[in-house]
Amino acid sequence: MVTWAVGENFGGMTSMCLKRASLFHERGVPSAVVSFNPSPRFQAIQLDLITNKQLHPDVPVLNLHEYYATIGELPVGPQTNLLDHREVQWSHKSTTLRESDGTVFYVDSVSPGSEAFLHREYLRSDGSIYLTDSKLPDPRNRERVRRQLCLFDTNRQLRGSFPSASQLYRHWLSELVGNTPTDIIVDSKYSAGFLSSFDHPLATKAFVFHSTHVTAGANPLSGALTPSHESIIATRENWDGFIFLTDSQRRAYRARFDAPDNTHVISNPVDGTAELPDFRLRDSSKVLHVGRFTQGKNIPEVIEIVSEVRSSGVDITLDLIGDGDQKAVLETAVSELGLREIVKFRGHIHTVSDELAHARVLMLCSRYEGQSLAILEAQAAGCVPVAYDVDFGPRDVIDQELTGFLIPFQDKEAAAIAVARLLTDDALCESMSRQAFDSAKNYTSDAIFAQWIQALDAGRKLQPNRRAMASLTARLSSLSFRSDGTLEVEISTELHGVELTGLQLLISEGGAAVANAVTCEPYMADNERFSFVVPAKLRKLIPGEKPLDLHVRFESEDFQSTVRLGTQKRSSVLPFLTSDGNLSIK
């Protein structure tokens, strides 16, 4: 299970990464959590995970820095053209100590001549250097910066050098895989960015979409992609599996992208109590919000809804469980609405399930969700969720007025009515509590584990063809105008023995979804050359002002790959038609 960091007070993504590792281990599959960040508190954090029962004690948390800091004998790795950091004058900036034993973890230095030039030395507890990370002047242009990372054994012998941190990260992951068939499940978007190009012959690789792939509030079929997801989706042929937490997000992704058939829906696992908590023990006034205090969670509206319910004469209290950078904003909102007596800031607690077992309502007003772990955990405890109906999670797990309430986005009046009903109508709340509890059984660890095994097996079976298809390219061989106004496009490709079941030319407006492209079938195929006729009225078929992009889609029996159409060599001339229809050349 790969993430970037396992820090303190982490959110749902890291929580699920840890829980999945424990889930696999408990069912006989050796598992580990892999992280890359340097942390002087690593050992304390690892102990806290076990103490707080957030991770099985037999599941190791592997960290790049802990790994190299404790291993003296390193195999010889790749080495790039070395730059000598000693050629730069350095001035000490700071020293960071390990919390566990007080030894030096790393030392930072800067160049007085340029703040762009930096040098960091990571040290083992015995004082020997295991890694240097430098930003040095480029010998060809002293104004430019080149990065260089170097690994050393305990004898200060160079065992590998890398021109980027990403290459070091991939090298280390290859060492972990070694000669053992390994499934790699990546939870972190940042880690997925540098692991898109990771390709080990014994590794199956899947990425989990924990959040929406579009920016906040954007249309999932046409809106701007988040920068981190955009780079991952652009390299989708490099992954053996894309895992979505909800079916609605998977459908939106498949509708937008000309995607290979390597997508799966696997929910986060949630195990509640064996029996539904006694309804008589629930506090008839208690409402919870569980989640990080971020703008996306839209917690001020939760507070406003509580104020509206209180104004209607209903006895209500609100516990805010979590923390985050919006806490001061929320405290101000509570004070301005005169709610300090009924709203409690609980911080991070390890008894959330107990709180859910004694509350009537979980309220969420998020602007967007991937899949709300808070909703699933609430249902597993028989606490009824009231949530805004946003992409993508709530509607996948809430049956309206059966297992919770779905509220139109920002309809605070409707939310207040729903909450008031649950707090005052015992029969309604008890019935919905029972149905929510029963629905949560679909998300038990056993059920989710079986889905993971099925998805990973499918990715492994697909992998040889996926790798072959991902290697295919298409190049423009010729382009000619025909007398009827159509355009003839001939492409060439190297199939490397891949047996295709289909090949099409796709034409779409620049930046638009390829799934909405105009599709042209080849009218002639000769060995590895294919010819197409592009319609004369193409601009009417694809209205807009942006240039049109050409892609080629390769299809095999169980996989497809879409690549941008390029040219054999970059031409120094560019033919085009003037507004009068005359031919010119740039």
What single string gives the DSSP state of each residue in 100-157? TT--EEEEEEEETTEEEEEEEEEE-TTS-EEEEEEEEEETTEEEEEEEEEEEE-TT--
Instruction: Tell me what pLDDT residue 388 has.
Output: 96
Nearest CA-CA partner of 195 in 223, 226, 174: 174
- Give CA–CA dist 430/310, Å, rounded: 22
Cis peptide leading into residue 392 (ω within 30°): yes
Nearest residue to 156 (alpha-carbon basis) of 126, 127, 125, 129 = 129
Q: What is the pLDDT of residue 78?
A: 86
pLDDT at 61: 94
**Residue 215: predicted pLDDT:** 84
Domain range 12-67+170-265, CATH class: alpha beta
Fold match, 12-67+170-265 / 279-442:
yes
Which tokens hold the place of 454?
A: 């099925």
Q: Cα-flanking dihedrals φ and ψ of residue 342, to 5°?
A: -115, -5
Q: Which CATH superfamily is domain 279-442 in?
A: Glycogen Phosphorylase B; (3.40.50.2000)
Q: Residue 260: what pLDDT?
A: 61
pTM given for the model? 0.80
Angle at 384 between CA 382 and CA 387, to 5 degrees: 145
Per-residue model confidence (pLDDT) at position 519: 93
Q: Where are the domains of the chain?
A: 12-67+170-265, 85-162, 279-442, 471-585
Report the pLDDT value the prediction gives residue 514, as an integer from 0 to 100.
Answer: 67
Give the contacts of 474 (CB within 8 A, at least 6 positions apart). 491, 492, 493, 552, 563, 565, 566
Contact 320, 330 (CB under 8 A): yes
Q: Which two tokens stand for residue 182?
A: 């390994």
One digit per residue, pLDDT tens: the chain, 586 residues?
999 999 877 777 898 899 999 999 999 999 999 999 999 999 999 999 998 888 999 999 999 999 999 988 888 888 877 888 888 889 999 999 999 999 999 999 999 878 889 999 999 999 999 999 999 998 888 788 999 999 999 999 999 999 999 999 999 999 999 999 999 999 999 999 999 999 999 999 999 998 888 887 788 877 888 898 999 998 888 999 999 999 988 988 888 886 667 899 999 888 888 899 999 999 999 999 999 999 999 999 999 999 999 999 999 999 999 999 999 999 999 999 999 999 999 999 988 999 999 999 999 999 887 778 899 999 999 999 999 998 888 999 999 999 999 999 999 999 999 999 999 999 999 999 999 999 998 898 999 999 999 999 999 998 998 888 888 989 999 999 898 989 999 999 988 888 899 999 999 887 666 667 899 999 999 889 999 999 988 888 888 888 899 999 999 887 888 888 988 766 677 777 787 778 888 8
CA distances from 446 to 58, 393, 569 (A): 19, 21, 54
**What are residue 577's phi and psi, to 5 degrees?**
-100, 135
User: Residue 330: which H helix or E strand, with range?
Assistant: helix 327-336
The whole-number pLDDT of residue 222 equals 79
The partner residues of 336 in beta bridges, in order of sequence, read none
According to CATH, the topology of domain 471-585 is: Immunoglobulin-like (2.60.40)
| Tokens matching residue 526 | 């000769």
At 1 the three-state DSSP class reads coil
CB 550 within 8 A of CB 505: yes
